[in-house]
Amino acid sequence: MGPFAAIARAMSSTIYKICPEAMWQSAVEAGVFKGAPIDLADGFIHFSTAGQAVETAAKHFAGQGGLVLVAVDGDRLGKALKYEVSRGGALFPHLYATLDPALALWVKPLPLGEDGRHVFPPLQP
């Protein structure tokens, strides 16, 4: 398998959004997730791959409780989903559109463990 096949495989997988539970509940009630303040400021909704989610939580959500992890099938987002170079030169999924909360494969709590780090459910690559 060449490097392009590996990139294509990485780009056709489940992606994850970390956000406050209350924000996600508001999106569900409204029928649309427009993004967190950082997403609105940057002009796209930030997502992480399974391999990036733990580091994203540690870097951007350290010590924060009341979060959920939202899993989305990236293939269902169409051309509005772009993988772009970000932290450490890695390709991160960015959604240049709003997200229909009904597209969530699942939403699970992202509690803090005794060590202060978030406890993740098993992630599907």
Amino acid type, 29:
E
pLDDT recorded at residue 32: 98
Task: Give the chain's count of helices (H) and strands (E).
Answer: 4, 7
Provide the residue-wise pLDDT of the chain in tens; the chain has 125 residues. 444 444 444 455 899 999 999 999 999 999 999 999 999 999 999 999 999 999 999 999 999 999 999 999 999 999 999 999 987 888 999 999 999 999 999 999 999 999 999 999 999 87
pLDDT recorded at residue 86: 86
Q: How far apart are CA 44 and CA 114, in angstroms?
A: 33
pLDDT recorded at residue 89: 86
Domain ranges of the chain: 3-109
pTM of structure: 0.88
pLDDT recorded at residue 125: 77
Among 8, 103, 14, which residue's Cα sits nearest to residue 51? 14
CATH superfamily of the 3-109 domain: Protein of unknown function DUF952 (3.20.170.20)
pLDDT recorded at residue 11: 52
